[in-house]
Amino acid sequence: MRKIVFFIGLISFLHAQTYIIPDLQRDDFKNLKTWWSVNVSGTNHTWAVNNGYFIGNLINPLDGGEGGQFLEDEYGMENIGFSTAYLMHVYDKNDTIEMIIRVRTLNDLPPGSRGWGLWRSESVPITINQATWFIEQTADSVYPWASTESWWRARITRGLQYEKRAELTFSDQQWHTYRVVRFAKQYYELYVDDDPTPVVYADTTDLGGILNEDYGFDCWNDNLVYYHTTNANSGNDTVEVYYNGWIGTSSYVVDYVEIKKGLYKYGHSVAPQGAVRLREVINEIDNGVQNGLWKGPYEFTVGGGPCLILATGKAEELDGYDDDDDLKIVLDSTDFGFDSPRSWNGDVDQGQPKTIIIDTVLAPGTHQLSFYSEVTPILYDATVLESPNGEVVVNQTLNESAPVGSVDYLWKTFNFDCDSGQIAIYISGNADEEPGWNYRNYPDPYGVLPDIDSTDDDELRIMLDDIDYGWGTDSAFMGNTLFGDSKTILIMQNVQAGNHTLKLYANETPTVYNVIVYAENKPTASSVEQKTSIIKDYSLGANYPNPFNPSTVIPFAIPEQATVRLEIFDIMGRSVKELVNKKYAAGKYSVVWDGKDARGRPTASGLYFCRLKANNRLLVRKIIKMQ
């Protein structure tokens, strides 16, 4: 019982096809996901995705003209909202689906309807009428039945005869979190905020059978009103639809939407091993109902060595429609505070995910880690690394995306030393789905919808020395499963003493926030001696790739401790950029030149020279940059 579908012929074909349904569809509206369609009927209405929210404005429908009965010619309807892409019925009646939306309206509702939930679209005359949703409508007072058809309800309907509903008494102009559960063919539930009791519950007994149609998601505001009456000729129940014209604006704001398939759970715990004292994969957004302690306390035990506490999260700022998101860390009795450098602050972060790093030493014994939230931040993980003889051997904050068009591109290289034992590799970042992703996994015979090409999504692959952790694995980033959301990877690997190389390969433009390697056993004299027995002389290796654009890796090795100066010169002998000027222990290393000069400006294509100075040695190699 809702607005008219504009793609009737297309939807008829799409029905009964198969679809790709992600286990978790989360949109907190930093960017509009490709699994939505924005639906606009009429010329005055506006919408936007701004700074972590969706706003829809229904403005002056029919320019204030007269209303009337909505018939098969579809004249009179005006609408603003978003729905499952192309109004597809992608969710099967046999699926278990949970939908969560945080939304508020900005005004009293003029004649029309607005709401959010799961439904089966149809045109007039309305007959199927299958919906599990929250809906408000206001009827124009010119109609004698207006008082009985102006309401705010949680409703579960099947056909025109079966309905379970609850009249809602709270204001939808305040922020609320609404949850819809369709448990396959068994039962259906509607919840509000944190109340564990559904406001409406219905099963097949209540509805005279199952909801036996596939369905999609919809969030809308339109000028249509539905009048439940009896057909004068047949005597059967029917719904008449009326469109309305008025002058003004009706608006709503959506903070986030989540749709979970099956019995999807947000995260999991990893048992302590090696240097890992705590690993909670959380991947959850707070629902905004109540501020305060949100996650934890998580308990972990340390032995008194160097301790690294890692957590990746995100906070947005909602332009005054609500307070900004905030998230803080409390370690035992130490409160790192809101709006501090070691917190997530929506006013400052503006929706940019980041990894908080706390490098400390804790007394041997058991400790607690907790997270306190305000509004709706996202927390992806909580990780603690510690070993009595441990050391952080790589700690790089990148906040970079790989170059556009990357194909199996060696993007980043990190060298480190450690003694034999286990290392922990922690990488945080995100990856976007391919451009134009949609639910279909079959060709469109009409050529209207693009085919999915899974080679165009962002991907990240990790290698440690000669160990390849692969594309599309749990130890990788894959855009067509992340859909722009963030992820943290933790790889535990046993290694031999000596020098090691961590490499990141990219397809398209994955983003990496931080790369951290924690060694269970820090480098010792014996591991350095092992390296010096292999390295006999100073060397400046050939850069790779060469020619290059935009960046290249320059390897070098030194047989003893030395201050190394690595510098780029142009063909006129002028210094372009100093890459390195610091003391190194004996070993093999590599440095990335990003193709920019000392002021951060891209250099021109052409011939350059790389010069290494260490102790009394001077080595030079040619480097070619191509456009």
> Any idea which of 379-383, 570-574, 589-593, 608-612 has the lowest mean pLDDT?
589-593
Residue from 321, 516, 299 nearest 423 by CA: 516
User: Which helix (H) or strand (E) element contains residue 479?
Assistant: helix 479-482
Instruction: Give residue 306's pLDDT.
Output: 86
Instruction: Give residue 400's pLDDT.
Output: 96
Provide the pLDDT confidence category of residue 454 given band limits of 50, 70 and 90: low
Tokens 């699994």 belong to 35
Instruction: Give residue 254's pLDDT.
Output: 98
Query: Which of 30-39, 370-379, 593-602 ranks highest by mean pLDDT?
Result: 370-379
Instruction: Give residue 450's pLDDT.
Output: 57
Instruction: Give residue 18's pLDDT.
Output: 63
What is the 3 state secondary structure string of 355-402?
Answer: EEEEEEECCCEEEEEEEEEECCCEEEEEEEEECCCCEEEEEEEEEEEC
pLDDT at residue 25 tops 80: yes
Measured in whole angstroms, the distance separating CA 545 from the mean position of its chain's CA atoms is 33
Q: Average pLDDT, whole number, for the chain? A: 89
Provide the pLDDT confidence category of residue 533 given band limits of 50, 70 and 90: very low
Bridge partners, residue 49, by sequence:
54
- The CA distance from 254 to 256, in Å, is 6
pLDDT at residue 572 tops 50: yes
pLDDT at residue 264 tops 60: yes
Instruction: Give residue 410's pLDDT.
Output: 97
Instruction: Give residue 589's pLDDT.
Output: 84
Peptide bond into 550 cis (omega under 30): yes
**Each residue's pLDDT tens digit, 424-453:** 999 999 999 988 777 765 556 566 655 555
pLDDT at residue 3 tops 70: no
- The CA distance from 607 to 127, in Å, is 74
pLDDT at residue 532 tops 70: no
- The CA distance from 437 to 70, in Å, is 34
Instruction: Give residue 531's pLDDT.
Output: 42
Provide mean pLDDT across the span 358-384. 95
- Reading the block at residue 522, the tokens are 């820090």
**Each residue's pLDDT tens digit, 269-293:** 999 988 999 999 999 999 999 999 9
Peptide bond into 198 cis (omega under 30): no
- Report the percent of the chain where pLDDT is more than 90: 71
Backbone angles phi, psi at 63, to 5 degrees: 50, 35
pLDDT at residue 125 tops 80: no
**Each residue's pLDDT tens digit, 187-246:** 999 999 999 999 999 999 999 998 988 999 999 999 999 998 877 666 667 889 999 999
Instruction: Give residue 232's pLDDT.
Output: 65
- Report the percent of the chain where pLDDT is more than 70: 92
- The CA distance from 310 to 315, in Å, is 16
pLDDT at residue 85 tops 90: no
Q: Select the more confidently predicted residue: 52 or 456.
A: 52
Provide the pLDDT confidence category of residue 548 given band limits of 50, 70 and 90: confident
Strand pairing of 477-478 and 459-464? antiparallel
Read off the pTM.
0.80
pLDDT at residue 614 tops 80: yes
CB 111 within 8 A of CB 223: yes
- The CA distance from 427 to 27, in Å, is 23
Backbone angles phi, psi at 25, to 5 degrees: -110, 110
Instruction: Give residue 12's pLDDT.
Output: 37
Instruction: Give residue 202's pLDDT.
Output: 97
Domains in the chain and their CATH numbers?
Answer: 8-261 (2.60.120.200), 268-528 (no CATH), 535-627 (2.60.40.4070)
Peptide bond into 388 cis (omega under 30): no
Provide mean pLDDT across the span 491-503. 94
Provide mean pLDDT across the span 501-507. 97
**Each residue's pLDDT tens digit, 91-124:** 999 999 999 999 999 999 999 999 999 998 777 7
Provide mean pLDDT across the span 123-149. 90
- Reading the block at residue 304, the tokens are 């008194």
